């Protein structure tokens, strides 16, 4: 009688192990399928990648800095022109510039 009972539990244990293995396989398959579908949808929507976004963000920052420098230079040239002075050569600080 003990032998039959032990064998039953051994078979149940193997069955549970097999079921757990199958469940893990199904989960991995689902994750892979979900990830593939999500990537396809994002590609179809033409969503930019993080790297592309960061590159454009950096370009915009540099352009803003350059615009601010040019704006300051224009203001300095306008002040010089309003006083009738000769404008400074490129790369030289104008009057009142530090």
**52 near 68, Cβ under 8 Å?**
no
For 43-73, the pLDDT digits (tens) are: 889 888 899 999 999 999 999 999 999 999 9
Task: Say how far apart CA 86 and CA 4 lie, in whole Å.
Answer: 109
pTM of the model: 0.46
Is pLDDT at 18 greater than 70 in this prediction?
yes
Task: Say how far apart CA 68 and CA 70 lie, in whole Å.
Answer: 5
pLDDT band at 9 (very low <50, low <70, confident <90, very high): confident
Task: Say how far apart CA 17 and CA 31 lie, in whole Å.
Answer: 21
What is the predicted pLDDT for the residue at 46?
85
How do the domains of the chain map onto residue ranges?
A: 1-47, 48-84
First to last CA, the chain: 100
């Amino acid at each position: 009688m003990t032998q039959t009972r032990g064998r039953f539990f051994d078979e149940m244990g193997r069955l549970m192990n097999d079921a757990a293995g199958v469940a893990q396989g199904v989960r991995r398959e689902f994750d892979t399928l979900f990830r593939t579908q999500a990537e396809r949808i994002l590609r179809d929507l033409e969503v930019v990648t993080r790297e592309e976004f960061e590159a454009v963000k950096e370009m915009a920052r540099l352009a803003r800095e350059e615009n601010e420098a040019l704006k300051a230079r224009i203001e300095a040239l306008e002040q010089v022109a309003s006083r009738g002075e000769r404008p400074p050569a490129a790369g030289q600080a104008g009057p009142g510039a530090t």
